[in-house]
Structure 1
Amino acid sequence: MTAPSLADAGIVQFGTSRFLLGHVAAFVHASREAGHTRDRILVVQTSPREAGKQKARDLHAHRHYPLVIRGRRDGQDIDTRETITSVADCLIADEQWPELEQQFIEHARFVVSNTGDNGYQVDDDSSLAAVPESFPAKLTKLLHARYSAGRDGLTVLPCELVSRNGEQLLALVQELAQRDYADADFDAWLTSRCLWVNTLVDRIVSAALEPVGAVAEPYALWAIEDQPGLELPCQHPDVQRVASLAAYEMRKLHILNLAHTYLVHRWQREPHSGIRFVREAMETPEWAAELRQVLDEEVLPTLAEHLERSELEAYRDATLERFANPYLNHALQDIAQHHPTKCQRRLQPVIESARRRGIATPRLDDAISSAQSTTHSR
């Protein structure tokens, strides 16, 4: 497939996930419709999976795709459908590297990525390969081509769920650049001419539509940590330029993610309950009340040492509203993957902080103990 002119595709997006189609691409679409943004998106398919390549071909063939928003936000029921028109085209990196490199050199202004749980895994990959395997090595090779062409730097906005994702991605690219090119001027260009931005994303995009499209919840957030010289790729009420991501990360990890993990604990206690989805748990009065008690009596009083209580309560309310979304089949079995590890990351820091403050956490203690017992019994 041959891409048309991509002169207006100033955003290069690595990843074809339904999340990005229902999150970043939707924000860019709305910003273009409002006249705030001129850039469109070039989507890049990066994995060797044939299913992923077929999705890329479908996206190339359609480009305009439906986004269905269903659920409740701020007490209002929402069920809408719109056509997203922000995608200019989609390239398959393994098959169309020269076209991708040319676009990256000539027209790119922003890089966006959401490359999955192993997206930052490099192993023995090299950016000197004809087509590197890993996302960091692909990005390093493309940045070196842009630098060698005498072009200015660009803004990198990773969306992977990794703390300080911009800083971590820069560290990986610097390591690859120093090993593969050993060019001090290129190293300096990476840090002085490019902006590496920490971001946090939050939206449940619950289903894909065939051949291209997505179903998402109304709630959305793209928090982007400010730094000198930062220009955002779009304007939207759910795209927020913030001084620090710390509060956003803390709320998401220790309220929303913690609540998901606590529901898994409750689900594992009653394996024959017949409850499969988060929304079904919230429809069960006993389960919903217990989760609310955990948040109100153990979590929020503990987090209030660091964050404003009113902000915590507002985020709690939004979280419970999202969990009760009647359109969202968010399976507890899926959330239960790596449950002991999630308990350690999401629950244990709250327990330790509560203990220092003299706050009792009996339900969180029970959840941690159960997770540890399961691990030790294997």
Structure 2
Amino acid sequence: MKTPVIQFGTSRFLQAHADLFLSEGTPAMAVTVVQTSGDPARAGRLAALAAPEGYPVRVRGRQDGRVIDETRRVTSVKRCLSMAVQYDEVRRVFVEEAEYVLSNTGDSGYDGRPEDREPDFLPAMSFPAKLYHLLAARHAAGAVPLTILPMELIADNGKVLRGLVGALARANGASADLIRYIEEETVWASSLVDRIVSAPIEPAGAVAEPYALWAIERTPGLVAPTQHPSIQLVDDLKEIETLKLHILNLGHTALVDMWQRHGAPADAVVRAFIAVPVVEAELAAIFEHEVLPAFVALGRKDEAKAYLATTMERFANPFLDHKLSDIAQNHRQKVERRIEAFIHLARDAGYGADMPRLSAIADRSQAI
């Protein structure tokens, strides 16, 4: 079977997100999954992902006021390869079969490495360097350009990845025709992904919340790989990023501040902590009196109210143990991006009311 989707990354997030959507969507899409890390401990996962019967994704949580607890089966993954030991086959699939490229290679996947300067492919190269060599092979074979859909949690990830691959092409002395093929003819689409995937199912599969989003920014030549309720084509990803960053993520960071002040247990989880009356009241006050009024000034009242309602359902997920100690990592940087940036955004929009609770969180984070 030909696989029009080639996916770099084997994480449980991808298993319960893109691979599930490609299995359920119209049309259903076949996927080749490529392991980029070379970790031999994941060999069992690779075999299980491509099992003919598929693998399970258990969806558990609240949605639209009701409790969801159901198991779905993912059958989109038809082949699994290791880039470290099966590069020739990876290259063949990339050149002969692929129409779409998905990637979720981790926080450091885009970081340059010394091996990137070598003229021939090496498994230790960064993901952009590996992608450059694959695109060069596709161009040399005369294959039509494809669509690249990065899913790493990097703002403007499509534009960033295109810039990195284009720079590597120039550094490697690529022809003007190959550079044009990479930078102008290949479709690079930025995307934003959101779903809490809380636990693995061995040897393949995962447990995930009902909420799921794969937002893809429209760009010339883009056609979505499939139609699915969780896949949205949008004109500007920043509109969704603003809601996520300054409601869901802001709420998480505000809860960490309360957790630090109220002497809650070290292993406290979000769903239990927001049920504490004093915490519930303080979080409600932040959203009602400071966050939502600022979104009104931004002209996004209805969107913000709807997104907040969904966020509170996600916070209260009875099946999800989302530890505040995990959210608390890099707290100061998160306050800067989620809270202080929101205060500045509101001020720039002409919102003049005080934000005493959010301002206090910012002040306390600077003192830590």
TM (norm. structure 1) is 0.92
Q: Is the 8 A contact 1:110 1:155 kept in 2?
A: yes
What letter matches 1:165 in structure 2? N
**Pairs aligned (count):** 364
1:296 aligned onto 2:288: yes
1:242 aligned onto 2:234: yes
What letter matches 2:305 in structure 1? E
Task: Indicate the larger mover: 47-56 or 202-211.
Answer: 47-56
Unmatched 5+ residue regions in structure 1?
1-5
1:139 aligned onto 2:131: yes
Decide which of 290, 299, 309 is 1:317's aligned counterpart. 309
Partner deviation per Cα, 1:129-180 (whole Å, 9 max, x = no partner): 3334211111111111101111111001111111111000100110111111
Partner deviation per Cα, 1:172-192 (whole Å, 9 max, x = no partner): 110111111331111100123
Inter-partner Cα distance in structure 1 for 2:366 and 2:40: 38
Q: Is the 8 A contact 1:275 1:281 kept in 2?
A: no
Q: Is the 8 A contact 2:44 2:203 kept in 1?
A: no
Q: Is the 8 A contact 2:213 2:231 kept in 1?
A: yes
TM-aligned CA deviation for residue 63 of structure 1:
6.9
3-state SS, counterpart of residue 37 of structure 1? coil
Inter-partner Cα distance in structure 1 for 2:299 and 2:47: 46
Q: Percent identity?
A: 44
1:358 aligned onto 2:348: no
TM (norm. structure 2) is 0.94
Partner deviation per Cα, 1:210-239 (whole Å, 9 max, x = no partner): 111111111111111112221111111111
Q: What residue number does 1:29 align with? A: 23
Q: What residue number does 2:184 align with? A: 192
Inter-partner Cα distance in structure 2 for 1:267 and 1:133: 41
Inter-partner Cα distance in structure 2 for 1:125 and 1:285: 55
Partner deviation per Cα, 1:290-338 (whole Å, 9 max, x = no partner): 1121112112222333342011000001001100000011111111111
Unmatched 5+ residue regions in structure 2?
none
Following superposition of structure 1 onto structure 2, how do residues 193-212 of structure 1 map, counting pairs within 5 Å? 193-212=185-204
Task: Indicate the larger mover: 301-310 or 227-236.
Answer: 301-310
1:87 aligned onto 2:77: yes
TM-aligned CA deviation for residue 40 of structure 1:
0.7
Q: Is the 8 A contact 2:38 2:83 kept in 1?
A: no
Distance 1:272 1:82, change over 3 A: closer
What letter matches 1:196 in structure 2? W
Decide which of 98, 111, 120 is 2:101's aligned counterpart. 111
Q: Is the 8 A contact 1:70 1:218 kept in 2?
A: yes
Following superposition of structure 1 onto structure 2, how do residues 1-378 of structure 1 map, counting pairs within 5 Å? 6-7=1-2, 9-31=3-25, 36-60=26-50, 64-126=54-116, 128-273=120-265, 276-355=268-347, 357-374=351-368
Partner deviation per Cα, 1:20-77 (whole Å, 9 max, x = no partner): 100101111111xxxx225311111111434344433443457710010011111121
Inter-partner Cα distance in structure 2 for 1:348 and 1:181: 44
Q: Is the 8 A contact 2:217 2:234 kept in 1?
A: yes
3-state SS, counterpart of residue 223 of structure 2? coil
Q: Is the 8 A contact 2:267 2:323 kept in 1?
A: no
3-state SS, counterpart of residue 297 of structure 2? coil
